[in-house]
Chains A and B, each alone.
Chain A
Amino acid sequence: MLAFFRKYQIPLSCCFCVLLSLYILTAAARGQIKKDPIGPLFLWLMRPLQIVAHSTTSWIKDIQQSYFTVAGYKAENERLRKRIVQLEVERNRFLEADATNQRLQKLLDFRSHLPSRSITASIIGNSASNWFQSCLIDKGSADGVRKGMSVVTPLGVVGRVVDAAARSAKVLLLTDPNSGIDVMVQRTRARGIVSGSLENGTVMKYVKRTEDIQVGDRLLTSGLDGVFLKGLMVGTVNKVRKQSVGLFQVIEVMPAVSPAQTEVVLVVNAQRSAAKVTAPSGPGLR
């Protein structure tokens, strides 16, 4: 018996891991895993590394940007070129600081219009898989972030928190196929669900064929899902297709927020204050 186990220890341990992962999957799908013991520890270990990697990436981007800017002045002599490099680096730093200042100012304005206490967080990592659209933020349960809270920017909806460790949290983006946001068309008040799709990008589902939806229509959160406040910008209608059969239209949506270009977000608990957002005027806001 022992010889059998020794001979087949690798295939047996593989089978054990397959069965264990299936058990975890089943338990997670049924919502039976209330507290994941390993996940928060892993996120805690990865957080400083991700912050360093993220800073390095930003630094490389800055260097790259400086390089391309400087390349345009190649006709100048060496002394002027050195001076230009110096000035360009300085200018980029100031521009970056200015852009950050404006972005944070906008965020602050927007935050003051949110009815509940909101938490400002930075995106420090993205999904390691092509199959899921998620990101990691640098605030967790120790900062008040809880599972189910909505994540927004002044431009609109980013996603919702699906897991929170002590010092970081995982955000399922609006563009993930497993997300779903109750929305309404601003012009006609027609309602539907916006979610990601591996086939068509972001789509609005369950809109009756009879509803009048046009390209360019703005989609806002309805507030009925209990996750997002009412009136947040979700995206604009990009394409409308009515198939010859079927109850619903196929509507492709251009999300208002591009997660790849987002650095700072607000985490909002909509359940504590189911009020309507009275956002300041600006791009992407009513």
Chain B
Amino acid sequence: MKLSLLLFAVGLLMILLQTTFLHFFPVVPDLILVLCVYWGLHHPTVGAVLGLFVLGYSVDVVSSPILGINAFAMSLVFLAVYLSSRSIWLHSPLVSAVVVLLASLIKGCALVLVWALFLSTEGFWMGAIRYILLEALVAALLAPVVFALLRRGQAYVEKAHIPGL
């Protein structure tokens, strides 16, 4: 419960960062996706599923012209990470980067699918491929750092005694 609340709060902070400070970079790093992978691998619960759905929906509220795109993508990525979590052993930062890269590609494909179904695809495909690859690379590069920070936060929360939780 404590950990889920911490990760959800971190998710909200990440959305705030993505809409303000990180927007000055050419590609906005998809920190929510990295969080999604971490959450799916280290603390998969029903609360995590709902938390990520709400975070995805929140990204839609501040970004997308149509609601539900990111909520859909996040739920799908979480499912994929959860189903493959038993065969993933995160023994090095490189592995976490590869896992996030693959998760980002899954998210990209989900976005393309939804976009093709609900939005105009005119002049879409080349740009979509570029964004999928760039986002995946940036997320993979950031994954080891974000994972290390989240692991530290998790260790701190698990040790700390918070009354009522």
**Chain A residues with a Cβ closer than 8 Å to the other chain, count:** 52
Is A177 in contact with B83, judged by CB distance below 8 angstroms? no
User: Contact flags (1/0) for A185-215 with B, using CB distance below 8 Å?
Assistant: 0000000000001111001010000000000
> A residues touching B (Cβ–Cβ < 8 Å)?
9-11, 13-15, 17-18, 20-26, 28-29, 33, 36, 38-39, 42-43, 46, 49-50, 53-54, 57, 125-132, 134, 136, 162-163, 170, 172, 176-178, 197-200, 203, 205
Which chain B residues numbered 126 to 150 have a C-beta less than 8 Å away from chain A?
126-128, 130-131, 134-135
Is A128 in contact with B118, judged by CB distance below 8 angstroms? no
Which chain B residues numbered 77 to 136 have a C-beta less than 8 Å away from chain A?
78-79, 82-83, 111, 114-115, 118-120, 122-128, 130-131, 134-135
Decide yes or no: A126 and B76 within 8 Å by CB, A10-B45, A13-B50, A24-B71 being known contacts.
Answer: no
**Chain B residues with a Cβ closer than 8 Å to the other chain, count:** 60
Minimum CB–CB distance for B58 against chain A, Å: 5
Decide yes or no: A136 and B123 within 8 Å by CB, A21-B68, A25-B118, A29-B66 being known contacts.
Answer: no
A136 to B59, CA, bound (A): 12
Is B131 in contact with A50, judged by CB distance below 8 angstroms? no
Is A197 in contact with B28, judged by CB distance below 8 angstroms? no
Decide yes or no: A17 and B71 within 8 Å by CB, A10-B45, A38-B57, A127-B62 being known contacts.
Answer: yes
Which chain B residues numbered 10 to 46 have a C-beta less than 8 Å away from chain A?
15-21, 23-24, 27-28, 30, 32, 44-46
Pick the most buried of B19, B28, B69: most chain A CB atoms within 10 A of its CB. B19
Indicate which residue in A18, A50, A198 contacts B20 across the interface (CB closer than 8 Å): A50
A21 to B59, CA, bound (A): 13
Indicate which residue in A22, A57, A127 contacts B72 across the interface (CB closer than 8 Å): A22
Q: Supply 17 A–B pairs (Cβ within 8 Å), ascending by A.
A: A14-B79, A21-B57, A24-B67, A39-B61, A53-B21, A57-B24, A125-B19, A125-B20, A127-B23, A129-B28, A131-B115, A170-B61, A177-B119, A178-B119, A197-B124, A198-B124, A205-B122
Decide yes or no: A25 and B19 within 8 Å by CB, A18-B75, A43-B61 being known contacts.
Answer: no
Counting residue pairs across A and B whose Cβ atoms lie within 8 Å, the total is: 171
Decide yes or no: A28 and B68 within 8 Å by CB, A14-B75, A125-B20, A205-B122 being known contacts.
Answer: yes
Closest to A203 in B: B123
Does residue B3 face the partner (Cβ distance < 8 Å to A)? no
Question: Which residues does chain A contribute within 8 Å of B8, judged by CB atoms?
Answer: none
Decide yes or no: A17 and B67 within 8 Å by CB, A43-B62, A178-B119, A199-B126 being known contacts.
Answer: no
Is A36 in contact with B67, judged by CB distance below 8 angstroms? yes
Question: Which residues does chain B contribute within 8 Å of A28, judged by CB atoms?
Answer: 66-68
Minimum CB–CB distance for B80 against chain A, Å: 9
Closest to A9 in B: B46
Closest to B135 in A: A130
A26 to B69, CA, bound (A): 10
Indicate which residue in A20, A22, A128 contacts B19 across the interface (CB closer than 8 Å): A128
Is A197 in contact with B123, judged by CB distance below 8 angstroms? yes
A76 to B5, CA, bound (A): 53
Closest to A18 in B: B75
Using A28-B67, A129-B63, A198-B127 as known contacts, list a sample of 7 further A-B pairs with CB atoms less than 8 Å apart, ordered by residue number in A.
A17-B71, A21-B71, A46-B15, A129-B28, A130-B27, A198-B131, A199-B123
Is A17 in contact with B50, judged by CB distance below 8 angstroms? yes
Decide yes or no: A25 and B72 within 8 Å by CB, A20-B53, A128-B18 being known contacts.
Answer: yes
Question: Which residues does chain A contribute within 8 Å of B70, judged by CB atoms?
Answer: 129
Indicate which residue in A10, A130, A132 contacts B46 across the interface (CB closer than 8 Å): A10
Is B19 in contact with A136, judged by CB distance below 8 angstroms? yes
Is A17 in contact with B82, judged by CB distance below 8 angstroms? no
